[in-house]
Amino acid sequence: MSRNDRLSSLEETLLQLLSIHPEKKIHQNELQETLEMYSKKEYKRLQKALTSLSNKQRVRIHQGWVRLNRDHSVMEGRIEFNQRGTGFVIVEGLDEDLRVHASDAGLALAGDRVAVKVLKSKKQARNPKAKVVDVLERGSSFYVGTLRKTESDTYLIESDRKSANVDFFVKKEDLNGAQEGEKVTFNLENWVHRQALPQAKILSRLGKSGTNDANMLSILAENGLIADFPSQVEAEADAIPLTIEQSVIDQRIDFRNKTVFTIDPVDAKDFDDALSIEELENGHLRLGVHIADVTHYVQSGSALDEEAHKRATSIYLVDRVIPMLPERLSNGVCSLRPKEDKLCYSCFMEVNLKAELVRYEIKETVIHSDHRFTYEQAQEILDGNDHFLSKEVNLVGELAKKLLKKRFKEGAIDFDTPEPRFVLNDKGEPEKVILKKRLFAHRLIEECMLLANRTVAEHVQHLRDQTKKDAFPFFYRIHDRPDEKKLADVLEQVRPLGISFQMEELAKPASINQLLERVKGTPMEYIVNGLTLRAMAKAVYSPDNLGHFGLGFHHYAHFTSPIRRYPDVIVHRLLKAYAQNKKIYELNQLRKEGEHCSMREKVAVDAERDSIKLKQVEYLSKHVGEEFSGVISGVMERGIFVTLDDVFCEGMIRVGDLKGDYFHYEPRSHALIGRRSGARYQLGDAITVKVDAVNPEKRQIDFVPVGRNKSTRS
């Protein structure tokens, strides 16, 4: 990052001093005395810092008096750019984003936190215009792109779609061995003017552009992620022994003589949860949810912990996992592999015949898993196949059915969106797209994990109710009620499909479930599920408990996946501390942790979606010119989006490719309508398209229509 692109430490200090009394003005002599900057050299530094802050419109200076700039036309926010180079600044608390023309973007790059001045306009624009006056913080510490050599023997980096909004030049001495046509990561060395290219220095080589490894590593880099762990972190992980000392076992409940098993995906290696179940004399069931005790090995403040905190989550791309913890821990020491002694943090729950929680215990344990099931193997037992653990698996299955029924009765929402899965060849190329099959075995595990997560949250709530709530701050997974404006938009979009609800009804979980049920098994299922999901608030982490609307829980936390989620690590530490009546986090600390973990989760989701989109593009690149049936999944002024029926790939038909008429957008019916013919392209309509072009670099798919579209509506 260039020195010109950030506040100096002295500028930061001055802003902090001025913010103590933001409405007052302070003479620069007082600032000089407070900071003890008496020498001629120090005085010059002070003057330079004040001038810089004035130029950035952060302060006002008049006759030696300095005060914070309280101009409400200057705002701070995060800037993003569209493909045409127009910037949009997202300001917290502002309903509409601020629009920044490319010529007014200054030295801002995509993702930067910027200060902008709102420009006065005679017309009331939908997105008010603004001008960047300062870059407060770079959005990324490095960027990704493809190295190109020009005819004049100089080097340029073409930035990837999501990484940066401009291209960069590279001096030959800063190539770091990179070759023309390679994907590279690089940092910003210097940038003096918007009309000049910024200067870059190459950090690492990702491989030849277009190869699977280069594409996947690029997706990580675009999202500010790195696969490899620092050497110090790997060294700490390698030093952890695989065997457990007897002194550690002696301090725990020894559960090794009890029947325990795991159920996971066929390709999983990081087993962080296991189950046990017992029938009690009173007819109740005692369910044990045993979770890998990551916090025993990952000590707070260690290099391992700092790296796990930085990553905050494992990332599951189409062809690989980028773990939160090094492989020795995630797949070895902590993983609850069969026939091995493992340390756990266990939640034992006694449940009655109505699936109601009667009592519980949360204890540190040591277990010895008897068997590892895949979901498919567990489902075979649930379907009647015999196994030496048939009784246990079926007991959990019956309990899960009751828990599921009870949860929906109490107000949970049943989102069950189909997900595409790719069959890859040895080169990582997609040969086939299939839908992930949703088995009851998946539901079984989900219900057990939900019950444990809910139980630990309610456990801490009991502690909070018995004392001052501030004494036991907790780290919840919260999900607020849906945004009414977004729900109203969903209503508008589904009404032409023959689906109607009253607004006050749709805001209830039962009505949302009814809507989802009405489109289940139809071509509209994928679309309506997506629209409704986007209308929902995003689930986040916070110490301020709002409950979980989607699950219908008043108290909920993430406890069951500490190998792959840092919030679960925080929850484990809190539970252990509170068991000893200790306090390890302040409320504001947990608020910051919530913001960090929620943001890292979003980054991970974006990377995972990017990898799916890339494979969809790669798959259709082998089918250019071929026809597919699909459903119109989105309509806008510049064209329509179509989701293909069998492969769930989404592409766009541009309005210019709708031949034979002039089509205009009708927002009320969410349709493109031919001005002369009256032909309609509307959300939910079936359509046959031809794959016209694909762009793996931009991850774009272009379709053209074939024949006439048909309505899927009844």
* pLDDT score for 29: 86
Q: Say if residues 463 and 562 touch (Cβ distance below 8 Å).
A: no
Task: Work out the percent of the chain whose per-residue pLDDT is above 70.
Answer: 95
pLDDT at 292 exceeding the cut of 60: yes
pLDDT at 117 exceeding the cut of 80: yes
Mean pLDDT of 489-494: 76
Q: Which of 78, 70, 129, 135 is nearest to 102 (CA)?
A: 129
Task: Work out the percent of the chain whose per-residue pLDDT is above 90.
Answer: 58
Q: Say if residues 91 and 98 touch (Cβ distance below 8 Å).
A: yes
Give the span between the Cα atoms of 155 and 157, in whole angstroms.
Answer: 7
* pLDDT score for 396: 98
pLDDT tier for residue 68 given thresholds of 50, 70 and 90: confident
Give the span between the Cα atoms of 306 and 303, in whole angstroms.
Answer: 5
pLDDT at 7 exceeding the cut of 70: no
* pLDDT score for 481: 85
pLDDT tier for residue 374 given thresholds of 50, 70 and 90: very high
Q: Say if residues 151 and 124 touch (Cβ distance below 8 Å).
A: no
pLDDT at 453 exceeding the cut of 50: yes
pLDDT tier for residue 504 given thresholds of 50, 70 and 90: low
Tokens linked to 646: 């069998």
Average pLDDT over the chain reads 89
Alpha-carbon torsion (208, 210, 212, 215), positive or negative? positive
Q: Say if residues 685 and 670 touch (Cβ distance below 8 Å).
A: no
Q: Which of 80, 161, 72, 68 is nearest to 114 (CA)?
A: 80
Residue with the larger pLDDT of the pair 5 and 594: 594
* pLDDT score for 282: 95
Query: Any idea which of 193-197, 286-290, 298-302 has the lowest mean pLDDT?
Result: 193-197
pLDDT at 628 exceeding the cut of 90: yes
Mean pLDDT of 484-490: 77
Q: List CB contacts of 561: < 8 A, sequence separation 6 or more.
A: 272, 273, 291, 568
Residue with the larger pLDDT of the pair 515 and 553: 553
pLDDT tier for residue 157 given thresholds of 50, 70 and 90: very high
Q: How far is CA 510 from CA 400, 410, 507, in A?
A: 21, 9, 9
Query: Any idea which of 7-21, 197-211, 222-236 has the lowest mean pLDDT?
Result: 7-21
pLDDT at 705 exceeding the cut of 80: yes
Residue at 710: amino acid letter: K
Mean pLDDT of 518-537: 78
pLDDT at 270 exceeding the cut of 60: yes
Q: Say if residues 400 and 375 touch (Cβ distance below 8 Å).
A: no
Tracing tokens 């943090």 back to the chain, one arrives at: 345
Tracing tokens 């790296």 back to the chain, one arrives at: 307
Give all domains of the chain, ordered by start, each with its CATH number. Answer: 3-68 (1.10.10), 74-137 (2.40.50.690), 143-222 (2.40.50.700), 231-476+554-603 (no CATH), 623-710 (2.40.50.140)
pLDDT tier for residue 2 given thresholds of 50, 70 and 90: very low
Q: What is the largest distance, in Å, between two alpha-carbon atoms of the chain?
A: 89
pLDDT at 713 exceeding the cut of 50: no
Which pLDDT tens digit goes with each residue over 141-155?
A: 899 999 999 988 899
pLDDT tier for residue 585 given thresholds of 50, 70 and 90: very high
pLDDT at 711 exceeding the cut of 70: no
